[in-house]
């Protein structure tokens, strides 16, 4: 590699562009040493004699409990009418089961929200971990229909 001064009498006066290979070689040697040390450690393994299982896993589908509330506030437990004061005891009973049954709440469109909030509170206090809501899919209404007193667009 040639080094020259600014005004050395070496010819053209243009700086020489050469790649310095020494740092690259140093890095490659360090990587080579690291890989030589770690490669034998990667192939080290322990032989373990694992037991063989011949039975199939049993998958249990959790029981589904349908809790329905009609427009008048009558509560139905799996299609059977149940008194409102009896509901917390039934919810505590299903909360202790393993696996815990899925509780699905169906309510009439005109059911008071207050009653639904009481049922959800009873389920939470009883320890029910999952509560699902059953709805009927249908066409969504435009936003103008949802607001009372909103004007309909003229056609």
* pLDDT single digits (tens) 85-124: 999 999 999 988 888 888 899 888 888 889 889 999 999 9
The full set of domains in the chain, from first to last, is 64-134 (3.30.420.270)
Q: What is the mean pLDDT of the chain?
A: 79
Q: Is the pLDDT of residue 146 over 80?
A: no
Whether residue 10 has pLDDT greater than 60: no
C-alpha atoms less than 13 angstroms from C-alpha of 91 in its C-beta half-sphere: 27
Q: Per-residue confidence at 139, pLDDT binned at 50, 70, 90? A: low
CB proximity list for 146: less than 8 A, separation 6 or greater: none
Q: 63, 101 in Cβ contact below 8 A?
A: yes
Per-residue pLDDT tens over the stretch 23-71? 999 999 999 999 998 887 777 677 777 777 777 766 777 788 899 998 8
Q: What is the mean pLDDT of residues 126-136?
A: 85
pLDDT in the model for residue 151: 52
H or E element in which residue 76 lies: strand 75-77
């Amino acid at each position: 590699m040639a080094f020259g001064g600014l005004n050395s009498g070496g010819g053209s006066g243009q700086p020489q562009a050469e790649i310095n290979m020494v740092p690259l070689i140093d890095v490659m040697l360090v990587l080579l040493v690291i890989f030589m040390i770690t490669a034998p450690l990667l192939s080290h393994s322990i032989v373990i004699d694992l037991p063989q299982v011949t039975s199939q896993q049993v998958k249990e589908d959790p029981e589904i409990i349908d809790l329905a509330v009609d427009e008048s506030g009558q509560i139905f437990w799996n299609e059977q009418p149940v008194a409102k004061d009896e509901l917390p005891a039934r919810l505590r009973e299903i909360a202790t089961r393993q696996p815990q049954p899925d509780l699905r709440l169906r309510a009439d469109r005109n059911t008071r929200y207050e009653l639904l909030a009481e049922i959800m509170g009873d389920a939470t206090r009883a320890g029910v971990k999952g509560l699902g809501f059953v709805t009927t899919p249908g066409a969504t209404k435009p936003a103008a229909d949802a607001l009372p007193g909103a004007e309909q667009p003229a056609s």
